[in-house]
Amino acid sequence: MPFYAQHIKAARLHLQKNDPVMKRVIKLVGPFHAKTKRDRFGTLVNSIISQQISVAAARTINARLLEATRELGGSPKLMPEGILKFDIEGLRELGVSRQKASYVRDLAEKVRSGAVQLDALPRQTDDVVIETLIQVKGIGLWTAQMFLMFSLGRLDIFPYDDLGIKKAICLHYQLGDLPEKSIMLEIAAPWRPYATVACWYLWQSLDLEEE
């Protein structure tokens, strides 16, 4: 589902009321403008390819992959059938590493077989979505959490292992070191049930620090 304006308004009011630090961060960053991604399969493929490489490199590889599947008469967007037309070596020729090529093919095979039913995920709980996605090689908890946040629009996801969130919390809550999980959960408690929105603001605040 998309991020509905009324939900984001309620989230901002909740965060501003319950956490003075978040109130300052929201004022610093400004309006919430994240959008959900409706192409669920393509989003997961892109997430796998993007791991541990630069944004620019990932964008280039994803564009090559999409163009290659289109040239084979496939869909205008990435689909399992298009991916599976390429073996590991074929994907490597497009710039995908051998390991990631095996991950992408595993995703495509599981979606095509029905082992992973992406269309059913919006009706599932957060835990079930995570359990479903981590069946796929190359998809871990963090990737599943990003999918919940920015593909399914879940409003209360807190990726406490995310380095950016740790850095932002360390900065804005004036901690000396990157916080442990227990401290992260304690700080995030007042954000519930809108942890996703709080995290988006924290990520955006880091971008402002780098400017």
Q: Which residues are known catalytic residues?
A: 162
125 C-beta neighbours (distance < 10 Å), count: 9
Residue 18 CA, chain-centre distance (Å), reads 26
Residue 40: name the closest of 142, 146, 125 by CA: 146
Residue 166 CA, chain-centre distance (Å), reads 16
Question: Do the Cβ atoms of 179 and 170 come closer than 8 Å?
Answer: yes
Separation CA 196–CA 11 (nearest Å)? 9
**Looking at residue 191, what DSSP letter applies?**
G
For 137, residues 6+ apart whose C-beta sits below 8 A from its C-beta are: 102, 103, 106, 107
172 C-beta neighbours (distance < 10 Å), count: 20
87 C-beta neighbours (distance < 10 Å), count: 10
